[in-house]
Amino acid sequence: MKNEKLFRGYIFSKTRKNSIVTLVFALIFFALYLWYMTSTFIYFPNATSAGHVLDSQKFAQDTKMVTIESQTEEFDYFSAAEIVPPALLFEHTYKQGLNYRFKVQINNSENAGLAYTTSAEGTLSMLQYAPNVHHIPGNALYEIRILSIGGTKYAALVTPNIDTNRLDYVTHAVFTKLPLYVMHDLGLTEFADTEIGNWCLDLRGIPVDDEGTDFFLIIIFSILFPGFLAVAVMFLLKPQLHLNYLVIKRFGDVNDICADIEAELSTEGVYKEGRTVYTESYIIKETLYTTKVSKNHLKRS
């Protein structure tokens, strides 16, 4: 449609009101989008990342040392967490700024001789093996290793396919609060009465909370809601691009049709039912967002 001056009448007034209502809703949705982004944006740089460089100095400052107490009895695994939880708790995850998944330099790796699988009842079950042989039981889902990072030892939960003895650094590393059962079971090994950091390095590839879902929602919402706001502003500034006028354009010159509607609305033959207005030549359906014009095919020749 040409940028000609639009006929200022009923259709123009309704289109202006439709555009304002649309803009109000667009602003509300955009505000909700900003709130959602501030609460979930941290997932964006981490969900598909192999890991960010860990600030070892800050991590050391955020680490507290805990003593592994010697134990003689097995842990009550029935009350422990799931063997492989569907997601790690976000509030228990170590963060540096907007990062919670890291690339971590390994100074040394030691086998603890502890692995875990699912028992017949579906609960956590410990498997012990000789750490010097490092022959992990075939049904083990993951094991505990002690990794030295920046001169401090940390427990790590590692799947059998990752050999930390052959790596200088690990990727996709997530630090979580040291699980109680890990502290207990290390007390059954040669690491009893030693100190380790209070963070546990989780290398099992488990997602953090809803990072996968939120990552895709961030992308979708970042297209949808700013786009909706841009369209709403465009309708207000350029009413000739509104759907109302694009529909009218099918019947001929927009200004001529708008002038005809204006003239017919002032006649006695106008009939209104609910939000639908019937004139001699047109049917106009009014809603909050549109004022749709169609031909009145009941018009007598």
CA distance 301 to 295: 13
pLDDT class of 80 with cuts at 50, 70, 90: low
Map out the domains of the chain as residue ranges.
10-37+214-295, 50-207
pLDDT class of 81 with cuts at 50, 70, 90: low
CA distance 156 to 147: 7
3-class state of residue 234 by DSSP: helix
Specify the pTM.
0.77
Q: 246-280: per-residue pLDDT in tens?
A: 999 999 999 999 999 999 999 888 989 999 999 99
Is a pLDDT exceeding 60 seen at residue 3? no
Selection from 131, 154, 166, 179 nearest residue 54 by Cα: 154
3-class state of residue 125 by DSSP: strand
Count of helix runs (H) and strand runs (E) in the chain = 6, 14
